[in-house]
Structures are given as C-alpha cells and as structure tokens.
Structure 1
C-alpha cells in the first residue's frame, strides 16, 4: 500500500475519471459511484498540486464535469463531485473514450507535459451505442500514452471491459459484483499504482 504521497504512483499524475451513468446504473448506485470517486480522490495528492483530476460522465451523450485545471483543492473537488448529476440513458462508451483522448488530455484543459496521464473507467454495462467503435477508441486512448484502468460492476460478459485497460490487462482490470463492493477498491488501485504499475 502507498503510505506516503511522494512515493505513490499517482503522484505527478493527470488523472481523468470516466463514469458510466446509464439507466442500468440507477440514481442510487450512481451516488455509490460518486462516493468511490471521493474516496479515491482523498488518496490523491491534490492540495499540493501533484495530482490533477478531471471527470467525465456518459450515458447516451458525454458530459465533461470538470477539466484537469478546474480545481486545485481537495475540498472544492469533493464538493464538485457531490454536485455531479445523474443523467441516465444508453451506454456510449466509445464517445466517452473519444472525449477522454481528444478533450480531457489537452494542454488547454490542463494536461501537463512530462506528467503521466491516467484514466479510470467505471462501467456497469456493455456499449449499446457505437459499439463497434468502442475497442478502436480504447486502442487510440492507449496509443496516445494514457494509462488506463477499467472497473466493471456486475458484468455477465467482461469481453469488452477487458479491451479497455492498459496491459497487462489482468493487473489493470477490476471487477465487482455490485456497487457496494466499490467501497475499498480505491486502495487496491492505489496499491497497484504504488507498486510501479504506471511508472
């Protein structure tokens, strides 16, 4: 486990969270997802500026909640997460990946040179819009130098999920049976990062 921020793999990191808010998630479970995000942010070195964070949500459309250069204090960021609305719809993972690559990680929106780019995708479903584009979009994300973790919740079919993360896939894919199991998962992700997974 990473016990000190300067030694952690998510220090000096630009991190973007991509959150599925499709209808199958439900409003109640979306709140649990937001709590997971807040727990993870509390592990990051936000206040000292080492870690910048942006958040995207998606269902039928993609919604940029805030860019990497929007918030520079943990307290402000946590309040912003609380205010993220649940916008239900279909599962358009492909477009969320496109926005992640083309809009979130740009210098104009806060992406810093010579700082690692990390994305964490949280989804409970398989794409049902633009499904044929999902895997190619994921490949372009990784090819652009973004290190990707994928978290799947209650998935009967994990085929698409395992096409999203960086290699080795087994180390960068996390699956849980329900949204309650997200609690504590942020520690596993940080353990992976602190052990050198994204250096």
Structure 2
C-alpha cells in the first residue's frame, strides 16, 4: 500500500512539473508574445470594432474592388492536413469577398523551393469556379523561397495581361502571404520593391513563422498588416479579421489625389474643395472661386444729366414758340421769364 502511495505521489509531482514547464514555455514563447502584443496594439486606442453578424456577412459586407493575390507556403513543414486548412481559409475568404470581373479579382501563387501560379486574376470571376480551383491545389513540398514567390507575384500576377486593372482605375492591389517558416531567401528588398509599386502586403505567420521576416514583408502600419496564429487548425479565425479589414477599408485613407478634401463614397471616393474654392474639370484639383464684380454707378448729386435733358427740351420748345410768335412764360429756378420774340428774331437775323 505504501509503495503504491509513493508511486502515485511521484507521478503527480512529475505531472505538475510538466504543466509548470509548459506554462513557463508558453509565457516566454516569442511567437505568443508577438501575437498578444499585436492584439493589444490593434485594440488599444481605437474605437470598438463593429461586430458583424456572420449570417448577414455576404449581404452587408461588400469589400471595395481589389486585385487580390494569395501567396501560400506549401513547403515540407506544412503537413498535408495543415495545407487543407489553408485551402479552407482561402475558400472562406472568397466567400466574404464581392467577387466578379468588375469587383474583386483573385489569384493564388503557391510556393516552396519553386513557385507555381495556380490561377490568375483573369481566370475566375465567380465564387464556385474559384473555390473549385482552390480545392485542386496541391502542396509543392521542399523549400521556403518566399522572396521568389513575392517577386513572381509582382512580375507575373499583378500585371494587366494577367488580369490586373490599369492604374488609372484606382483598383487597390493586395497580397496576403501565409507562411509557417523562415524564408530561405531575402524578402526585405523584394517586399519593399513590391510595396513601392502600390501593392499592399499582409503577412500571416503560423506556428514557427519568423516574426522578423513577417515584419519585413508587411506594409505599414505593421499592427494592421501582421497576423499570427498558433496552428493551422485555427487559421480560419483570421477570416473574420480580414473581413473587418477589407470591409473597413477607407479609400481616402489608402491614399488619394484630391487637392483638398476626399469624401468616402461606398466603394470609391470623390473630391471636394474648401469654402471659397471650386473643383476643376479634372475633379481633383481646386481653384479660387472667381469674385463677381458688380459695377456700381454713383448717383449724380447735382442731377447733371437731368438738367441737361431739361435744357435741351426747353430750347426745343422755345424754338417752336418763336416760330409761331407766341410769348411764352416759363419758370426756372423759381423765377418767371417772358420771352421777347421780336428780340429773338432780331438776334437770329444778325
């Protein structure tokens, strides 16, 4: 009996030691710290995020048009069951988007030591076909050439021949990278070059993903573009986060070329001018509103024009009366005058 009791006590001690070790490891795990820090940074100092009703997502959440390219890691470290989780995540993301030729277009770039474009932006314009194409994707196995995958996406997927809209259309270009490891090539310069072309990059790290590399790839602010999950088993949780992000995009905040004021208009924007300015024909720049000049004719205090008109009328009347030898009497400045027609005739004869 005593021996059994001692054995049970020893096993309990070992179990407690394992639990404490696991807790200590989790508490110091840099990935966990990064994930917690990201969550705190994302939530602190921001207004509460509106909670979306999953049952009404498709009808209420319409993302603005995007050229969206998923870049997914299928290296050897991603086991077959985990890769299936990635494909489910992609299919769920497609369900949340407003997919179509004039809406959001989607492409998928698959990579390991080599890179394979599974389908381009111009290939599928409806959700059923797109999800079927996703279901057929197979892992590529060895290697993690993330930098090569980003470069391929820029050169071959985000191009007009591949289905990307022209720059003049102002359609945002977004890349979402999903990886669980450390890149075997350089990603910092390649990612910077991609961002310089106007591509917005989101980096999703899973399990053993290198957080430094994720930050080097992602757009700023990093707290909005770097995501981390512990396992592929919970990657589907990111669907709701991306739904909030893509549905909450403000076209004005993403960069605009309005001279004065950018106004968010559903999935697009338009420009306005401040008071005293008018919008020019290009609908972007503003010019000072022209001042309407009103010509003010000062009133003649001595009524000169009226006096001249009166004098002309009087002269004409006198001439008529003189011709008829009538002696008129008229009043001027309050005094009475009698015209001597004989005198006027004598003057006219000289």
Q: How high is the TM-score relative to the length of structure 1?
A: 0.92
Judge conservation of contact 1:5–1:45 (CA < 8 Å) in 2: no
Decide which structure has the larger Cα Rg and report it.
Answer: 2
Pick aligned residue for 2:228 from 161, 170, 175: 175
Map Cα deviations across residues 135-170 of structure 1 (whole Å, 9 max, x no partner): 110111111100111100013631111111110011
Which structure is richer in relative contact order (CA contacts within 8 A, separation 6 or more)? Answer: 1
2:242 match: 189
Map Cα deviations across residues 109-141 of structure 1 (whole Å, 9 max, x no partner): 00002211011000001112xx2x311101111
Q: CA deviation at 1:48?
A: 6.7
In structure 2, distance between residues paired with 1:172 and 1:180:
21
Q: CA deviation at 1:57?
A: 0.4
Pick aligned residue for 1:17 from 63, 70, 80: 70
Partner of 2:176, secondary structure, is strand
1:57 match: 110
The correspondence of residues 62-141 of structure 1 with structure 2, limited to 5 A, is: 62-113=115-166, 114=169, 115-128=171-184, 131=185, 133-141=186-194
Q: Does 1:41 align with 2:97?
A: no
Map Cα deviations across residues 159-186 of structure 1 (whole Å, 9 max, x no partner): 1111111100111110000001112211
In structure 2, distance between residues paired with 1:105 and 1:6:
28
In structure 2, distance between residues paired with 1:156 and 1:145:
25
Q: How high is the TM-score relative to the length of structure 2?
A: 0.53
- Unaligned regions of 5+ residues in structure 1, if any? none
Pick aligned residue for 1:26 from 79, 87, 111: 79
Judge conservation of contact 2:87–2:135 (CA < 8 Å) in 1: yes
Cα distance change, pair 26–5 in 1 and its aligned pair in 2 (3 A): same
CA RMSD of aligned residues (A): 1.8
- Unaligned regions of 5+ residues in structure 2, if any? 1-50, 255-350
Q: CA deviation at 1:93?
A: 0.4
In structure 2, distance between residues paired with 1:73 and 1:35:
17
Partner of 1:23, secondary structure, is coil
